[in-house]
Amino acid sequence: MSVENLGETIHSLLGFKAHLTCAWAKSVCDIIKNLPSKDLERKDSELSISKIKDELAALTANINRLNIQRRQVLNDFLDLKGNIRVFCRIRPIRIGEHFRCLRPVVASESSTVILKFDDNKSKNYSFDKVFHPGSSQDEVFSDVEPLIKSVIDGYNACIFAYGQTGTGKTFTMEGTPDTPGVVPRAIEALFKQAEESNHTFLISFSMLEIYLGNLKDLLVTHPTKATDPLPPCLSIKTDIKGGIEIDNLVAIQVSDFNQALRLYRLGCRFRSTASTNSNTTSSRSHCMIRITITCFDALERRRETNKIWLVDLGGSERVLKTKAWGRRLDEGKAINLSLSVLGDVINALQRKKRHVPYRNSKLTQVLKDSLGDDSKTLMLAHISPKEEDLCETICSLNFATRAKSIHLGHSDSSETRNQKEVSMKNLQQKMKHIEEERLKVRRGIEKLNEKLENLTRPALRFEEQLQASHSSTEESLSNLKAKKNKTGDVIAAPMSELPRFMRPTFCSKRKSGMDPNTSEGKDQVLGRRRRPPSHRAVSVTFPVKNNSEYNSDCSISRSSCLAGLNLKRSADNETEYSQETLDYDSKMVAFSKQDTSQRTSTHQKAPFNYLEKNGNQKTEKINSTKFSKVDDWLSHKNESTISGYIHRSKRVLALPIPEKKKRGTGPSKEDKLYGDKVPAYEFTEENIISHSTAEKRCDVERVEMPLSAVISDKPQMMLKELFEQDSTFNSTSPSHESRDQTMTEMQDSIDGLSTEEGSPGNLSPPDICCGRLDQHKNDDEVYIMSTMPEVKGETQCSDNMLKNGECSFSVYDIDNSVINGKGDPGVSISRLELESLCQHVPTEKYIKDNEKEDLDGFSHPSALGTRANPLKLRSERALFMDNANYKDLITPNVRSQGRTQNEGICYDLKEKFQLLTASALLGLGLHDLGFGHDFFHGLMF
């Protein structure tokens, strides 16, 4: 129907509607007649359209200019801050970790970690940001977000979580469904910012893990049976420009956040995790998520294609402390080794060395083009607040501090540093200004776009509406005519016969108290959440097995669950590839193909699908890039494997601290209260109790399994007994002959134990035997022996020998041939170190203090079930160095052995020896370990 026919229609309605008078109809007709002619109208609208288009072009140019400016300012800012930014997060104390036994050793301010060694002594470490144990995931991500902007600007980036096992790396990166971590938030922010940036992006998702030094694609199904085909091997390639590419790694194109999230969840299911003494759901690999971004039409971007790596590193662990053996030991060694190489790489970057040892591990090879150069790196160092983890904490803090000093120029004078701070503040101001301007321009563009849409579509819309109303009116009229009864009453037409816009909606029916599912409404209105019958939801419960069945590891491998393999097989192999299958329900939703296509079409309507929007060259270029479509991929996965949604939150054993700030709701109360400054977090009993109640509320059952109990602990027991026999050594002062005899006996016992039935054979847990063999007048001779079958060694030293630099140190390989002999410069225990060890002899003051603490019965390490605080020892000893005649102050008895087994030259040498043997065991050799030395020092305590 056209406008001209409106009068006629109104006349025809007159017979039915009394209130439509002739005069009214006439006036309407007059108005219509007086309307400007169509041509004029069109010309006018064309003019305004072109005007708006011009304005839009100007604004777009403006926003592009602002984008370039913002990128430059952000880049300058990050350059000043340092290309490697380091944040530190402190894990909250868990329920079950007794407050009294955990003296608060770590407290924090907004950018400082303070290690408290005792009431008077502490050490500060400063980072770009420190998150105290009460920090929420929101707070963490708000500081991570600027890096995502750099990714949109075309820079390669890498965010990695580093730290001791069980300190919350996975919690930070992955999070829980209620409190998502950095990975899901970063992906979401990436899509949001890409959408806002006015450019066309192509985003692809990949996920892999580095397990025992091998790359494993987490988006492909791995064989569970011998007959299953092997997935293609992943290999790392470097292109001519130095970019890293991984051959055969699946990259799936994602067009919105939800697709990426589903892939991420799928990948998480295949991660290798297992229960260890330190963490019941310990990641046994490095998990790496790669998001690649391609943008063909943004010249201001740094690169056409760039990427961001989101890495949840495996936890560094002290194999001696975790008492790992077999597969767990191998995993721990592989993780430690690659972390050590990462440290070396960071060290080399820091020192601006020509050669950066990227090639020494797969981890650093993969990250090569995202670490250093102009890439943006963010390290999230995680530490534990526990006193017993102090050494690992120091180790992690040292690692993080080294990383932080890259590009930061710690050698800068205070004047230069002040200048830098001023420049950073200026840049921040500038950035704020640019952001505000961008927002204004964006709003302007949105308004103009709306106007443009109204102008280009009005005629059409008007016509369409009239057409619709005309046909519906005609239809209604004819229906009404037909249904008019003899008395002239109008019978209500059935719903289905009314024009669509006149029919009640599902909501209006509900509001008016009608049953939305009755009569016609039933087939018209489908419940929004109702799934087509082709969907099926399966809920599977995997059995929880009794500890005893799982021996040391109590983890169920995916293969053992899914393929129904013998669950009683050796726990050694049971790295769990799907932790969610351990003892929780997994809800699985399988979508039919029909639904998949439906969902694909919905995604195509999503604003982020640029493939549809651009029908030009760009589309061809993008289409020619080969990526698997996410839905195809997931539907394939659903057919071939059991995929689904995972509730990792159920594995939260620590206390989730309630989010203080809801996302997107502006600054929290806490923010307002404290502004930029975060108050120092104290481990008060209240804090811990509130955590405990939070955990109870979460209804999370704490699963505590004494894993080590299942390891055949006989060898260790016996060694311990042997060890405790030092009292024999101490009291009886055996002669040289008897020493040899004892040695042989010890060796025999160890050899015998390692081949006993049920023991782990050759891979007995490493331990060091140490004893004072001879006591001369003023001189103790110390004997140390490793029980590691791969590396055996011995050392003899005495105060006099140390003084003269005569200490002998020998390490044997498995065939008893000497690897390093006396005076070999390759051995890490140098004369200098031995001398310093000599100075570490405890003072009388220290002994007295300890005795006093012993009497108090509380603060003595043995009373706490922990070993002596080494830093306290050290500092006391350092104090002592100032006193000249220390030999007069100490009794011969404490010199070698110390009061407890954790003191004295013997103990210090034992530590050194452990370092050496462990590094030899890890294949690092006995040569100068450089950064690795420090690294292992922390691990081996």
Ligand X SMILES: Nc1ncnc2c1ncn2[C@@H]1O[C@H](COP(=O)(O)OP(=O)(O)OP(=O)(O)O)[C@@H](O)[C@H]1O
Residue numbers at the binding site for ligand X (CB under 6 A): 91-92, 163, 165-171, 279, 281-283, 314-315, 382, 652-657
What are the structure tokens assigned to 117, written together?
């060694």
Q: Rounded CA gap, 172 and 184, in Å?
A: 11
Q: Are 575 and 555 in contact (CB under 8 A)?
A: yes
Residue 292 assigned as binding residue: no
Q: Are 96 and 136 in contact (CB under 8 A)?
A: no
* Closer to ligand X by Cβ: residue 194 or 655: 655
Residue 575 assigned as binding residue: no
Residue 165 assigned as binding residue: yes
Q: Which amino acid is at 867?
A: R
* Closer to ligand X by Cβ: residue 67 or 283: 283
Q: Rounded CA gap, 69 and 208, in Å?
A: 36
Q: Rounded CA gap, 698 and 650, in Å?
A: 9
Distance of closest approach, residue 393 Cβ to ligand X, in angstroms: 13
Distance of closest approach, residue 658 Cβ to ligand X, in angstroms: 10
Q: Which amino acid is at 386?
A: K
Distance of closest approach, residue 332 Cβ to ligand X, in angstroms: 10
Q: Are 99 and 685 in contact (CB under 8 A)?
A: yes
Q: Are 809 and 823 in contact (CB under 8 A)?
A: no
Q: How far is CA 683 from CA 94, 103, 680, 924, in A?
A: 11, 9, 10, 39
Distance of closest approach, residue 652 Cβ to ligand X, in angstroms: 4
H-helix or E-strand spanning residue 567: none
* Closer to ligand X by Cβ: residue 656 or 870: 656
* Closer to ligand X by Cβ: residue 149 or 382: 382
* Closer to ligand X by Cβ: residue 103 or 169: 169
Distance of closest approach, residue 655 Cβ to ligand X, in angstroms: 6
Nearest residue to 468 (alpha-carbon basis) of 506, 500, 496, 503: 500
Tokens 């005519």 correspond to 481
Q: Rounded CA gap, 134 and 655, in Å?
A: 10
* Closer to ligand X by Cβ: residue 653 or 929: 653
DSSP annotation of 161: E
Distance of closest approach, residue 653 Cβ to ligand X, in angstroms: 4
- Planar angle of CA 559, 564, 569, nearest 5 degrees: 75
> Is the Cα torsion angle 822, 828, 829, 831 positive or negative in sign?
positive
* Closer to ligand X by Cβ: residue 167 or 712: 167
What are the two backbone dihedrals, phi and then psi, of residue 8, each rounded to the nearest 5 degrees?
-60, -45
Alpha-helical runs (H) found in 551-657: 558-562, 593-605, 610-613, 617-624, 630-640
Q: Rounded CA gap, 708 and 873, in Å?
A: 29
413: left (phi over 0), alpha (psi -120 to 50) or beta: beta
Residue 169 assigned as binding residue: yes
What are the structure tokens assigned to 712, written together?
């055949």
Q: Rounded CA gap, 728 and 732, in Å?
A: 6
Q: Rounded CA gap, 608 and 21, in Å?
A: 53
* Closer to ligand X by Cβ: residue 328 or 877: 328
Nearest residue to 813 (alpha-carbon basis) of 906, 914, 926, 908: 926
Strands 84-90 and 112-116: unpaired
Q: Are 920 and 328 in contact (CB under 8 A)?
A: no
DSSP annotation of 284: -
Residue 168 assigned as binding residue: yes
* Closer to ligand X by Cβ: residue 380 or 802: 380
Query: Residue 399 contacts by C-beta under 8 Å, 6 or more apart in sequence?
Result: 162, 343, 346, 381, 935
Distance of closest approach, residue 199 Cβ to ligand X, in angstroms: 36
Distance of closest approach, residue 700 Cβ to ligand X, in angstroms: 9
Q: Are 38 and 395 in contact (CB under 8 A)?
A: no
Nearest residue to 95 (alpha-carbon basis) of 754, 904, 692, 916: 692
Q: Rounded CA gap, 286 and 10, in Å?
A: 75
Residue 167 assigned as binding residue: yes
* Closer to ligand X by Cβ: residue 92 or 644: 92
Distance of closest approach, residue 648 Cβ to ligand X, in angstroms: 9
* Closer to ligand X by Cβ: residue 282 or 393: 282
Distance of closest approach, residue 336 Cβ to ligand X, in angstroms: 12
Q: Which amino acid is at 423?
A: S
* Closer to ligand X by Cβ: residue 278 or 798: 278
* Closer to ligand X by Cβ: residue 532 or 706: 706
Q: Rounded CA gap, 840 and 874, in Å?
A: 7
Distance of closest approach, residue 284 Cβ to ligand X, in angstroms: 8
Distance of closest approach, residue 313 Cβ to ligand X, in angstroms: 8
Residue 376 pairs in a beta bridge with 157
* Closer to ligand X by Cβ: residue 381 or 922: 381
**Which pairs count as long-range contacts for 218-221, CB under 8 Å and 24+ apart, including other chains?**
218/266, 218/267, 218/268, 218/270, 218/271, 218/287, 219/250, 219/252, 219/263, 219/266, 219/267, 219/633, 220/250, 221/637, 221/640, 221/641
Distance of closest approach, residue 317 Cβ to ligand X, in angstroms: 7
What are the structure tokens assigned to 459, written together?
């005629």
Distance of closest approach, residue 792 Cβ to ligand X, in angstroms: 31
Residue 294 assigned as binding residue: no
* Closer to ligand X by Cβ: residue 332 or 861: 332
Q: Rounded CA gap, 139 and 135, in Å?
A: 6
Distance of closest approach, residue 870 Cβ to ligand X, in angstroms: 23
Tokens 């662990």 correspond to 317
Residue 15 assigned as binding residue: no
Q: Which residues are annotated binding-site positions for ATP?
A: 163-170
The annotated binding site is made up of: 163-170
